[in-house]
């Protein structure tokens, strides 16, 4: 469930609102144990996603670093290499 939460800070270009919300949604899913809430819990679930999205955006906007922004393509290539080492074959080759 939480494997889709990615580091969003210090990338060029910066994280989009869609990426921040997707991470917030994964976080709320993990906390609640729901992939999709029931109708009775839908409003509370969406409110939580909205609040976590806001908190995440506030955090990302307030962090400071001297390090240069990372390149998304380079980081994705590194992740593929780690997966190849860990699993023995590229993730894209899996059935």
Predicted local confidence at residue 89, as pLDDT: 64
Same domain, 53 and 9: yes
Same domain, 20 and 53: yes
The helix (H) or strand (E) run that includes residue 12 is: strand 11-12
Predicted local confidence at residue 86, as pLDDT: 85
Is the per-residue pLDDT at 9 higher than 50?
Answer: yes
pLDDT grade, residue 90 (50/70/90)? low
Same domain, 13 and 43: yes
Same domain, 33 and 79: no
Same domain, 76 and 44: no
What is the number of structural domains in the chain? 2
Average pLDDT, the chain: 88
33 conformational bin, left if phi > 0, alpha if psi -120 to 50, beta if neither: left
**CA separation for the pair 37, 80 (Å, rounded):** 33
Q: Average pLDDT in the 64-77 region? A: 91
Backbone angles phi, psi at 70, to 5 degrees: -85, 155
CA end-to-end distance (rounded Å), the chain = 20
Same domain, 34 and 12: yes
Same domain, 10 and 37: yes
């Amino acid at each position: 469930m939480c494997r889709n939460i990615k580091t969003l800070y210090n990338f060029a270009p910066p994280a989009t609102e869609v990426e921040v919300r997707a991470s917030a949604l994964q976080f709320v899913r993990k906390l609640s144990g729901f992939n999709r809430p029931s109708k009775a819990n839908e409003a509370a679930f969406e409110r939580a996603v909205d609040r976590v999205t806001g908190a995440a955006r506030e955090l990302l906007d307030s962090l400071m670093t001297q390090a240069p922004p990372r390149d998304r393509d380079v980081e994705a290539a590194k992740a593929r290499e780690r997966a190849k080492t860990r699993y023995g074959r590229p993730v894209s080759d899996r059935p």
